[in-house]
């Protein structure tokens, strides 16, 4: 694998939460964060399902506390967001055995077993 392809494939990056102001208008943000429970529920239910999941994943739990069924939907949205983050982190920092061929992994583990433990003067007291 060439270094340019490695850099392109494993370039640093993170799945960042989408700010609410990119998903909602100012009036919608006000209703979702500061409205009465009825206003919050109406504003959240008015969103399309994809946007609703993104919003619920990013708002604090107290926002949906008085809303029927939204707590479960928020938990699902947060699980999906965490799964996306885990997949992205796995893509950026894959396990060594995912990068090496099986014979390279066996060779590396055999080399580790056969090497004597190294003690450094910096770590001895």
pTM greater than 0.85 (yes/no): no
Contact 67, 44 (CB under 8 A): yes
Residue 91 in tokens: 């893509």
| Residues 4-15 pLDDT 10s | 676 666 666 556
pLDDT tens track for 34-85: 988 889 889 998 999 999 999 999 999 888 887 778 888 999 999 999 998 8
């Amino acid at each position: 694998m060439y270094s340019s392809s490695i850099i392109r494939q494993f370039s640093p990056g993170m799945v960042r939460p989408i700010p609410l102001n990119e998903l909602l208008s100012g009036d919608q943000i006000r209703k979702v964060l500061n409205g009465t429970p009825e206003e919050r529920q109406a504003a959240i239910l008015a969103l399309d399902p994809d946007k609703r999941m993104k919003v619920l994943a990013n708002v604090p739990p107290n926002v949906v506390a008085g809303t029927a069924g939204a707590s479960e939907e928020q938990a699902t949205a947060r699980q999906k967001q965490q799964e996306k983050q885990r997949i992205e982190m796995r893509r950026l920092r894959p396990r060594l055995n995912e990068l090496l061929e099986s014979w390279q992994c066996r060779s590396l583990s055999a080399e580790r077993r056969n090497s004597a433990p190294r003690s450094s003067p910096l770590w001895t007291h």
